[in-house]
Every structure is written in structure tokens, then in C-alpha cells.
Amino acid sequence: MKKSFLSYIGLAATFAASMLLSSCSDDDSSSTKTLTIYPASTKSYMYAEDGEAYMKWKAGDLVYLYNMTQDKCITYSIKADKDGDDAAFTGTAYANKGDKIAVVYPNLSNGTDTLGTDGLLMFDLANQDGTVKTLGNVWYKYGWATVTSASDGVATAYFDSEPVSLMGAIKFSFTNGGSALDNVTRVCISDIPTAGEIDVTYSPEDATLDLGYFETGFMDFYGKFDDGAYAGLFAGSYSATFYVTADGKLYEGSATVSPSVGTLKEQTVELDEVSSSSYVTVGGVKWSSENFSLDSQTLFNWGVVGDAVTDTEAYAAAPSATQIQGGLFSDSAASTKLVSYHRSEYGDVVYWATKGKYRMPSYNDWYSVAPTAASVNQGVEGITSTWTSDGMKITEDATGNSITLPACGYSQRGGDVVNSGTAGYYMTGLSVLASKAWLLYFDSTGDIYLTDSEAGGDPQATRKFRASSIRPVVVE
């Protein structure tokens, strides 16, 4: 069974704690030395010049060191001393003569890789934006170095051999019916390996990157990609799903991608335009025809993803006016956006679970079809809402398009479902307070409105630990 990042990070925290408690020997004492590693001739940083992509070291590039001879001590302070292909790495580390040290780029502290146990490193393909300049954030390199001298607080090491690359890159362009897509503003690459692990106690020549430990994930880029979208990918061959927005239209399709170690390829992917029959447009919003469910779960706390989805006490304590739809975050306040399927603990559960295809609705999405509580008697111009035996039917008068929202009630902290069949509580992505979020409410009396406080006479209705329904929206 493939493991989630959160279960993996538990092991990581245990191992990291043990490292802090252990002591490391030194030729003279347990003190650290100023270590310099020569030569670092492998190139890491991706940049573009005259339409071509190149790789080189950038001054300040941080590497991760794992001293296998000692007590597996680690350090985060070793960095490239200059730009170029012949940079050396220098900084403070535990190093005795003869020590064997694993060197990995990028450094753990950049937020895309995580220390496991027994020399295991977890790599993540986050921190990319579809441009060539961010490929260096995930251009993983791995090599061994041996300390050749160590005295008087200074140590020198040399790489045993050229560090190996673990990555490839592809510049993607897209067609429909054989014609190039123009005005590409979004590229989502889904259902691909976006996390892997490697055991650095194996020599670089023998080590393999295990891509089967974690479930597949996705990467999502927004910008202007008429000249192509760049993606750093783990070397190998696998099928990918693409969701692309171009000229305001939606396209999707699948293709086999085969990134090669240490190289940049170009690939054109043929896509189909997404049929309007796969969603329902009401109020200018592309709605799914069904509520969101995940492994038979149909009611969800606000703002949690990953293992926390089933935690009935968990929610994102984001402050007022924070919006989480279409976002993944590393913190409960939803202040640090991180499009990482594996590392995120908070955010939009629909976006996370569908790997970029759908998202939860925003406040404005619901406001296009339903009034606020203050104007409930006025309704929304051009929209008719009718209570039926199946729930609340919302119809766009001009087109006749409609969605029906089942009255699923709510559940609080794992308790019984309340008001099922008589009321609906539907999530928005807009936070009111750390403990409350805007909610769409309706009931069998025919009332339907957005609220940031009470609903149906219940002052606790908008609490984030009140598990409620979600009607997905197509990501554009």
C-alpha cells in the first residue's frame, strides 16, 4: 500500500529528533569544521538564453550533507561559493579525515524534500511555476564525497565521482485537432509521480529513486505559456493527464511522458476540448452535476486535506477574508500556499482529491446563484430556486440550466447527521474567523442564502468543524 506524506513525515520527525540528541566525533573534538568540497562540476541551476535551456550552479545553492561514517549527522549550511560550473561547496559541518559524506542538491531546507529514517530522503516536485527558472528548485543531484584532510578547524573533501542526476525536464506545448493552442493560461499535469525517496547510504551508481512509495500527485501552473510550459520531472516513463486552459476554453487529455536523466526535452500533447455536457453552467459558473465524495465520505470539515480529511476535529484556522478554493497550504492559517499533493495539510479538499480538475466553490460562485441572508427575500435576478423532494433546485432562467443540491444536513465532530432531508449546508472557500466560514444554507421552507453567522436559527451553523456538503466547480 502506498503511503501518504503525513505518515512518512512522522518517521522523519522521529529521526530528526534523534539526530539533535546524538553527538558526533571529530579528529580533535566533537566540534564542527569549515568544510570545503571540490569540485562541484555538475550543473544544477536551470536558466534560459537565446531560447535554449542551460544548467549551472548559482552562488548560494544549498546542499544537504549526510555523514555516513559518523552518527549520521546532518547540516544545512553548505552552499556553492559562486556562479558557474566549477563552484565549490563550503560551510560548517562535522568532518573527520576519511569520512564518507553523501551530498544531495537541493538542500532539505528549501521545503521540497524531507529527511526520513536510515538515510532516506523524500523528494517533492513542488516549488515550480512552469517557467525554466524554477526547474533548478527540483533539479536533484546525488553524489558521495570523501574527506581527505581535517585539522585546525578546517576540512577538505572531494567528490568520489560525478554526482548523478535524478531528474529530467520537458517543455510542453499543446494542440487541439493538430493546431497549436494559443493564449495558454493554465497547465495542470496530473496523475504523475510527484514524490519519491532515495536511500543515500547506497552509492550513487547503485541508488535508485523509488517512485512507488507515494501516491501520484499533480503540478499546477498559472501564467502565460504560449511558448511552452517547463516541468521538472522524475526520470522514467509514465502516463500523465493534462488540464489546460487556452483562450478561455478548457482542454484535457493524456499522454505518456518520458523524462530522461539530466536532459531537457520538448513534447507536444494533443488535447480534446472539454465537452459542456461534463458540467452545468449556472450563473456563469461551471458546476459539477453531483456533490463531492471521497471514499464514501460526503460531509467534510473546512480546509483540511490528506490524512486530516477523516479527522472530525481538524479544520484550517484561517483568519477573516482568507480564501482557500483551488489552493493547498502548509499551515493552518492558510498563509503559505504550496501546490504539493504530498506536503500540504490544509486547503481545498476537492482540488487536492481530484488532483487539479475540480475545486470547492468560492463565495462569489455561490453569490452568483443565491442571495445573502440580509437580502434573502430579494433573491438573485435571473435565478429561480425551488424546493423539491430531491433538495434545492437552482435554475438559470435564460438558459434553463439547473443544479439540484441534496439536503444532506451536517455532522459535528463525528456525531450523527442532523437535518438530513430537510436542510442543506454547503461549503464556500471564504473564511469568516479562525473558527467560522461562509456557508450556503437552504431548507424545506424554500429559504436559501449565504451566511457568515447563523443558519436556520442555529448560531453555530458556520463553525468549521461542522462537516458540510461540497458541490465542486471546474477549475479554469
pLDDT in tens, 91-121: 998 899 999 998 888 775 544 455 544 677 8
Q: Which fold has domain 5-165?
A: Immunoglobulin-like (2.60.40)
| Locus of grid cell 525517496 | 197
Q: Which triple of cell numbers denotes residue 455? A: 443558519
d(C-alpha 26, C-alpha 150), whole Å: 9
DSSP state of 310: G
d(C-alpha 46, C-alpha 131), whole Å: 10
pLDDT in tens, 454-469: 999 999 999 999 999 9
Position 380 scores a pLDDT of 93
404 Cβ neighbours under 8 A, 6+ residues apart: 388, 390, 391, 392, 393, 394
Q: 346, 369 in Cβ contact below 8 A?
A: no
Q: 227, 375 in Cβ contact below 8 A?
A: no
d(C-alpha 291, C-alpha 288), whole Å: 7
Q: 270, 290 in Cβ contact below 8 A?
A: no
Ranges in the chain, pLDDT < 50: 1-26, 28-29, 51, 110-112, 116-117
Position 16 scores a pLDDT of 32
d(C-alpha 84, C-alpha 55), whole Å: 9
Position 231 scores a pLDDT of 95
Q: Same fold for the domain at 5-165 and the one at 167-195+207-276?
A: yes
212 Cβ neighbours under 8 A, 6+ residues apart: 2
Backbone phi and psi for residue 74, each to the nearest 5 degrees, phi listed first:
-125, 160
Q: Which fold has domain 167-195+207-276?
A: Immunoglobulin-like (2.60.40)
Position 2 scores a pLDDT of 46
Q: 80, 87 in Cβ contact below 8 A?
A: yes
- Please give the helix or strand (H or E) that residue 261 lies within, else none: none
Kindly tell me the burial class for residue 334, based on how many C-beta atoms sit within 10 Å of its own C-beta (0-12, 13-18, 19 or more).
Answer: buried
Position 48 scores a pLDDT of 53
Count the Cβ atoms, other than its own, within 10 Å of residue 356: 24
Position 108 scores a pLDDT of 57
One-letter amino acid of 215: E
Q: Which residues of 9-34 are buried (b: 16+ CB within 10 A; e: fewer)?
A: bebbeebbeeeeeeebebbeeeebbe
- Please give the helix or strand (H or E) that residue 146 lies within, else none: strand 141-151
Q: Which triple of cell numbers denotes residue 31? A: 566540534
Q: Which triple of cell numbers denotes residue 415? A: 456525531
Position 201 scores a pLDDT of 83
d(C-alpha 142, C-alpha 126), whole Å: 19
398 Cβ neighbours under 8 A, 6+ residues apart: 382
Position 163 scores a pLDDT of 81
Q: Which triple of cell numbers denotes residue 466? A: 461542522
Nearest to 21 by CA among 62, 97, 74: 74
d(C-alpha 279, C-alpha 282), whole Å: 10
d(C-alpha 143, C-alpha 163), whole Å: 4
Position 56 scores a pLDDT of 73
**What's the angle, vertex CA 58, arms to CA 52 and CA 63, rounded to 5?**
120
d(C-alpha 116, C-alpha 197), whole Å: 9
Nearest to 93 by CA among 152, 39, 154: 154
Nearest to 442 by CA among 400, 395, 387, 390: 387
Q: Which triple of cell numbers denotes residue 155? A: 576540512
Nearest to 431 by CA among 322, 348, 346: 322
Q: 225, 130 in Cβ contact below 8 A?
A: yes
Nearest to 388 by CA among 372, 366, 406: 406
DSSP state of 28: S
Position 423 scores a pLDDT of 98
Position 367 scores a pLDDT of 97
Question: What ranges do the domains of the chain cover?
Answer: 5-165, 167-195+207-276, 281-474
**Could you give the maximum distance between any two Cα atoms of the chain, in Å?**
83
468 strand-pairing partners: 300
Backbone phi and psi for residue 375, each to the nearest 5 degrees, phi listed first:
-120, 30
DSSP string spanning 290-326?
S---BTTB--B-TTB-GGGGG-TT------TT-B-TT
